[in-house]
Amino acid sequence: MCGAYTEARVVGYPRRVSKQESPIEELSLYVKLRPESAELGGGTEVKATGGAHAKLELADGGARIEVALPDLATTELRYVVDQLIKALGGMVRVGDVVLDGSEIADPTLLTVALDLHHRSKGRVSIPENAEIQAEMERIARAEDLYRRWVNEDPSIRTSIQIANDVGKWAADHDDVKVTVLEEDELHEKGLRLLLAVGGASEQSPPRLVLAEYRPKGATEAPLAIVGKGITFDTGGINVKPYASFVSMMKNDMGGAAIACALFESLVESGYDKPLLLVVPTCENAVGEKAMRPGALVESYSGKTVRIDHTDAEGRLVLADALAYAGDTYAPAEYLCFATLTTAALNAYGPFATPVHFANSDLQTRIENSGAAMGEDFHFFPKRLWHTIANVDKEADLRNTARLPGNASAGAGSRNAAHFLLEFANAPLCHFDIFASTWNWSGEAPGTGYGATGAPLRSLIGAFARK
C-alpha cells in the first residue's frame, strides 16, 4: 500500500487525500538533516519552501526523508523544515520521529528537534546525540508548561489555579518560598490598580503571586521575572469587539505562563543566583464592580492613573506588581513579559518579539541566543517622547498614551513599555509577547492552533549561557 504513494510530488503544501483513498497507517519517520551541498540518496523528490531539497522514501511501517538545508538563518530553517513536515501530512500520518542531524550545527539541531518534539507530541528521539536529546527534553518541559497554560480553558486557568500550581511546584523545592496576596492584603497594602482591573471577577479574582528562589550562599539582589496574568480579557466596560481577537483572549495570561516556565526552568537547572517570580493575575471582566473609564486610581507607588480605556489593563496590574516587588524585595533588575499590545502584532508581524530597554549585555545575550534558537527579536531604547506621551492632565499618568499630532495612533508597544518604567526602581527589560506567543498566522514552526512556546527557548539559552 505504501508503494502507491512513492510517486507523489510534494510542492510545499499538504496534498489532499480524496474520499476514495484510505489514509495509510501511522508511520515512524526518519528525518536526516544535511547541509546544502550534500548529495541526497534515492526516493521521490520533494520540492520544498525556501530552496531546500529533499528525498522521500516510504517502506512498510516507516518513512525516511533526507533534507539538504539551504544557507538560511536558523529561524528560516525552522520554517523550511516545518513546511516539509506539514506537506508530508497529506501523504503519511507521522508517529514516532527519529532525527539525525549529525552533519549540521548542534544549535540548529536542537531547535528543529524542539519543533519536531511538539509536532509529534513528544515522540522524537536523537539517537546520535544524547546531549542534544537531554537539552531538548529539558527545554520542551518548560515550553510544554507555557503552552499548556496559555491553551487551557480560562474558566480553569484562573488566578486561583495559577497561585495553586506555583505553590504546588514550590513545595518540592526547598529553596523556593511562595507568597500569595489575596484581596484583603491587596487592599491593605494599596495595590489599587490590580484590584481595579480584577474587581468584577469572582471566578478569577485579583492575586499577586510571588516566589523567591535563593540558592545556598547567594547574597546578591534577585533578578525579578514578572509576568502579566490576565486570565481572560473582555476589555472591561470598553468591551473588545470581535475584530480585536476577543475569542483568543485566554492567551492574555501568556506573560504569567512564560514567566513561571522560565523561573521553574532556571531553578531546576541549578541557577546560581537569586530569582524572584512576580505574577499579578486576575480576569478583566464586565460587571457592577468593573473599573470605569475616567476613574482616577491611586497606584501602590502613590502615582495616580486615569483609566482612559479599560482594555489597557495589562500595564495597570504590572505597574502595581513592579512597584510592590521593588519596595519589598529590592531586585537588581526586572525581566517583564506581557501580551501587552495588539500593536506588537500589527507593527512587527506574527513571529517577532519587541524588546524594550535591554542593556547592552542583555541585548547581546538575547540576540545570540535568538539567532541560535531561531527566534527573532527587535530592540528599542528609552525615548523621552514616549515617556511624555503617558502624562495626563487630571492624574499623573493615563493608561492610553498618545504621541502628538499625526503620530498619535502609533507606537503602542513602545508607549505601553514606557508606562511600566514609571513604576520600576531598577533597570527594566520588557518583552511584548502579544505577537509571538500565539500562532496568529497558522505558520509558526512546531505548533498547531494556539500557543507557540515562543520566545522561551531563547530566554532559557540566554541565561543558561551567562
The mean per-residue pLDDT over the stretch 57-84 comes to 90
Q: What angle do CA 355, 358, 362 make, to 5 degrees?
A: 115
| pLDDT of the residue at 138 | 97
The mean per-residue pLDDT over the stretch 33-53 comes to 89
pTM: 0.93
Catalytic one among 315, 365, 402, 457?
315
Starting at the edge strand found earlier in the chain, the sheet holding 93-100 runs: 44-47, 53-59, 62-69, 26-35, 93-100, 124-125
The mean per-residue pLDDT over the stretch 51-70 comes to 88
Contact 74, 111 (CB under 8 A): yes
Starting at the edge strand found earlier in the chain, the sheet holding 304-306 runs: 296-298, 304-306, 397-398
Whether the pLDDT of residue 339 is over 50: the answer is yes
Cβ within 8 Å of residue 46, ≥6 positions away: 9, 10, 53, 54, 55, 56, 65, 84, 87
| pLDDT of the residue at 15 | 38
Confidence of residue 48 (pLDDT cuts 50, 70, 90): confident
Known catalytic membership, residue 315? yes
DSSP annotation of 444: -
| pLDDT of the residue at 407 | 77
Confidence of residue 465 (pLDDT cuts 50, 70, 90): low
Confidence of residue 80 (pLDDT cuts 50, 70, 90): very high
Confidence of residue 22 (pLDDT cuts 50, 70, 90): very low
DSSP annotation of 287: S
For residue 174, which amino acid is it?
D
Kindly report, residue by residue over 316-325, the tens digit of the pLDDT: 999 999 999 9
Kindly report, residue by residue over 143-177, the tens digit of the pLDDT: 999 999 999 999 999 999 999 999 999 999 999 99
Q: What percent of the chain has pLDDT over 90?
A: 81
| pLDDT of the residue at 17 | 36
Kindly report, residue by residue over 241-295, the tens digit of the pLDDT: 988 899 999 999 999 999 999 999 999 999 999 999 999 999 999 999 999 999 9
Catalytic one among 147, 240, 402, 414?
240
- Shortest CA distance to 157 belongs to which of 230, 247, 261? 230
Kindly report, residue by residue over 111-130, the tens digit of the pLDDT: 999 999 998 889 999 999 99
Confidence of residue 3 (pLDDT cuts 50, 70, 90): very low
Kindly report, residue by residue over 186-196, the tens digit of the pLDDT: 999 999 999 99
What are the grid coordinates assigned to 11, written together? Answer: 510542492
Determine how many CB atoms are found less than 10 A away from the CB of residue 5: 18
| pLDDT of the residue at 51 | 87
Determine how many CB atoms are found less than 10 A away from the CB of residue 359: 10
Which of 12-26, 36-50, 245-259 shows the lowest per-residue confidence on average (mean pLDDT)? Answer: 12-26
Domain 146-464 has CATH 3.30.1380.10: no
Domain locations in the chain as residue ranges: 2-16+23-125, 146-464
The mean per-residue pLDDT over the stretch 184-206 comes to 98
DSSP 27-72: EEEEEEEEETTPPP-SSEEEE-GGG-EEEEEEETTEEEEEEEE-S-
What separation in angstroms does the CA of 336 have from each of 31, 106, 428, 442?
38, 29, 7, 26
Known catalytic membership, residue 393? no
Whether the pLDDT of residue 1 is over 60: the answer is no
Whether the pLDDT of residue 393 is over 50: the answer is yes
Whether the pLDDT of residue 235 is over 60: the answer is yes
Whether the pLDDT of residue 20 is over 60: the answer is no
Average pLDDT, the chain: 92
